Each structure stands twice: as C-alpha cells, then as structure tokens.
Structure 1
C-alpha cells in the first residue's frame, strides 16, 4: 500500500524533535536552508512499508511520530528483525551504499515521517557544513548501535540481552521526554526475540523471571521498571565477564 503524502510544507524550526534529527546552533539563514531539505511528510499506516528491500534509494526519513522495525528475509524464508526506530531518529541509511534499500521498514503503529531527498541533502550540505557533519554523526551512531547489537548477541545470556534491550529502549524514550521508568512496547515479544536472537518462549520466560525477581512489572505491553539498578547489574556483569 502506498503511503499518503501530505501536501503541507514541514517547518523544522517549529518541530519539537528538531534537536534530535537536525543540527543545532544554526542561524536563521542556515535554518531556512535546512528546511528546504524536507520535501513532504508521509503518513504510514500500521503494518505498511515505508520502503522495502531492493527498492531504489532516493531519500532519508526523519520519523516524526510512531515506531518502525527494519527486517531482512533469511535464506530459509524467515524474517530477521534488525532494528527498531522511533520518533526523532533517521531511517533509510542502508540505501546509501548501493543506491537501493537492503531491508524492509515496516510501521509498528500509525506513523508520520519527514521525507528528505538525499540529493537535496548533498546539495545543501555544500552550503551548510553543519548538515553534512550531522549526517555523518547519524551514520556513526548507527554503526555503533550495530556493533553493540553484535556484542549483545555474541556474548550475553538471555537475561542480559533482554535487560540491555529494555534499558536501551527506555533511555531512548526518556531522551524524547518520556518516563525513565515506564514504557509501552510497540513491538511483539516475537519481534523482540527475532531482534535479540531468542525464541519467543525464552523472551516470555525471561520477562516472567524479571517480574518474579521484582525488577519489572508487566501488564501486557506496558512495562514498569521497579529496579533499574538490578537490570543494569545484569548488563554490567556481562560486560565485566567478557
């Protein structure tokens, strides 16, 4: 299904997420040029694709509202979740290398993105060097995140993986003004398992253990962290044991 494209022009200077997806400290003239990067907004319905594997790469997307997952098809036909993206983050960087996307990006809830044509980013970056630097930082952050996931999957036990996942998710949400101890999971336990390299049963069992140990309270998709220090100790112990 084709996403709906809004005809209104986005004003980055009035967006409450601008500091997360755009450079900071720009003067009025630079901000005006930056706003020309954003072509349109798109509304993506839950379950629809923003882009898919093999599709021509034309734009990066700043997530304005909603959650996405990226995934790839494995050789045996299964889908492997490779990441979860939320408001204030930029998605679509996978397409830069070969000029086509290498994964599917699927909305986990109704979402809205700002469409930023890559040729326009490159053009304006020549004038506003802060934009080029910011794109490099975003790319570097993705590399660091992928490296962290590799370490997580390669050396952590199930409890440590899930603890790291919960802490990372709540920290990213907190930087966007949400609670530092409560969150609503937009993804299923099966999707979490796919991302963490765990079976669905293992994810459910580990959540139950966290509840029994008094670390979290779970009501369907609502998670409340009761003992953040205990979760952090699980992650730290894994790192110290490597």
Structure 2
C-alpha cells in the first residue's frame, strides 16, 4: 500500500512538471507571436529599418503589412487583427477612433511626407515642374487618390498647375504609392508622383531625375500612427509606438527624407 501511495505521489509530481512545462511553452509561444502592423506603402523603407532596430533592442517581433491607407481602413473595419496603423494621413486614424476601433489618445504624427515627381530617365524632369506643361511624355503614374493620400496630393498638385484636365488621359492609376513607384521604375510609365523616401537616400536622388514638389502645392501629408483595439492588451504595441517617438527612430525616419 505504501508503495502505491509513493508511486501515485511520484506520478502527481511528474504530471505537475509536465503541466508547468506546457504552461511555459504556451507563454513562450504567446510572447513570440509577432505584432501585426499595418503600414502605409510610402513608409516601407524607413519602417523596415525601424523594425530591425526595434526587434533587436526589445526582443519583440513584428509582422509588417504594406498597402494603401484606404485599403487598411476597410480591412480594419472588417475585422483585420492589426494592432497598430501607421497611416499616410491624419484623418484615417481619427476616423477609426470615432468609430470605436482605435484609441484616440494614442494618435500622433510619426512623419511628414514629401511628394516627388520622378522619372527613371536622367535629365528628363526639370526642377520646377514646368516639364509637365510640355506634355512630352506618354504616361504619368499616380496612386489612387481615393485610397492613397499621396495620390490625392498628386491631383492637388496637377490642379495647382492647371493641368489636371489636360493630363487626365495620360494618367495611369496605381493601387498605392508603392505601385506608382513600380510603374515608373519598370518604365511602364514615363514618370510618376512618388514619395521622396522611395527615390532619395541621405538627401540625394538615387537615380533618374526629379522635382521635389513644394509643400504649398498640396495639403500637408501628415502621417499619423494609432493603437487599434486588438493591440490594447499587447505590450509590444505600446512599445513600438513609444519607440517611434525616440530620437533613434526619428533619426532613421529623417534619413529617408521625411520631416518631423
């Protein structure tokens, strides 16, 4: 009888160890689950750089999705489990907060974008935009103005120049600013409106020719971040938002041509 009691006691201890091991494994798995972050396409370069340093410094893992702000808005409304939105405007994060899908108090401007008219061809685009009036090009790429703030800024620029209607037949509409860049990079479009971060590095144009559009030609491209409801209970979400406000992150963001 005493042998049986000892045997049961041994088994109970063994089961406890197994149970604690399973709990520890579950905890590790939960911690390792990457934070899902929706990021405006124009911010792909800087966000990849920021994410690399953030993951190294904190141990948190990120799963980045890049796309048009308007598309993310629709996905979030339909239940997409993003924890954070890094939008290409101020309006979308606040709209999500008003709809009860985000925490308004967490919204802040993480970058101020610059619009550029760019061609892969050297000495093709002049530095004052007058080239557009010559219409000596076949296709002009812009991001969908209904979904992408950079596309809306491009249309405002054409309106400011009095060219919106004249150039309309030559416009090739991209789904987002990343695709607008691809159209020009692949020369499926002669030139296009892109984000400065896509074609400049450390303040210098990487290739081709470009016109840095004056900020007075369009509404400010103030890009806001916000905590979404699925991120409320995820420590990594607040950690990332706080990291974006650090001098280390701001230095990286500025190096891609953004203002702060």
TM-score range, shorter chain: under 0.3
Larger relative contact order (Cα-Cα within 8 Å, sequence gap ≥ 6): 2
Q: Which has the higher helix share?
A: 2
Higher radius of gyration, 1 or 2 = 2
TM-score scaled by length of structure 2? 0.23
